[in-house]
Chains A and B, each alone.
Chain A
């Protein structure tokens, strides 16, 4: 299964919105798109997931392209605590989860 593709790193200023892109061009119709983030020396933490429609929760928003080959995680107001590695993941209905190499987000005060 092809990995998802993400930029290696991004920077943001505190209190500004951040848009983290992900390409998953080989996604199949039943694969869900999940986003997780990971702090140093910790396991990944769930952020949000979706299938076709855009999704919102208390942490973030997920915008999914109409052809589902890409998605964007949106943090509406970045805080210093949002600095982490963000992973975009394909979850298949055959029990497989495919991570990319992640985007390291730096938040500047």
Chain B
């Protein structure tokens, strides 16, 4: 079975632009979470989605939004990019998003904002 996949692998944008990152969960998993990992720090929680509904949100500005589709894949959108948005964006899937579930992480999308 394929693991969590993310696209694109790398992305370069300029300040003020918009970006969309994509994630496909493991087959059978209904929950997807998004994280931002700045170099040298631990991942910071952005969103959790379960059955297409937002279940949890971290301390990120409204420029960050996400959605989950009927096939449980997900998109993370970031508007009005800032230099500080440069980071590795990780997607993780789990069976149903319960706090005792194991999360399976994808390899991430490396976003560079110039």
Instruction: Give residues in A with beta carbon < 8 Å to B.
Output: 3, 30-32, 34, 36, 41-46, 49, 51, 87, 91-102
Contact = CB atoms under 8 A, between A and B. Distances in A.
Interface in B76-114: 90, 92, 97-100, 102-108
Interface of B: 4, 33, 35, 41-45, 48, 50, 55-58, 90, 92, 97-100, 102-108
A44 B33 contact: no
A52 B52 CA distance: 31
A66 B73 CA distance: 39
A45 B44 CA distance: 16
Contacts of A96: 45, 48, 56-58
B21 to A, nearest CB: 14
A87 B42 contact: yes
Contact of B56 (A30, A41, A92): A92
Nearest to B56: A95
Contacts of B108: 43
B102 A31 contact: no
Given A51-B100, A95-B50, A44 B43 contact: yes
Given A46-B103, A94-B55, 14 more contacts: A32-B100, A36-B105, A43-B106, A44-B105, A46-B104, A87-B42, A87-B43, A91-B99, A92-B99, A95-B48, A96-B57, A97-B56, A99-B35, A99-B44
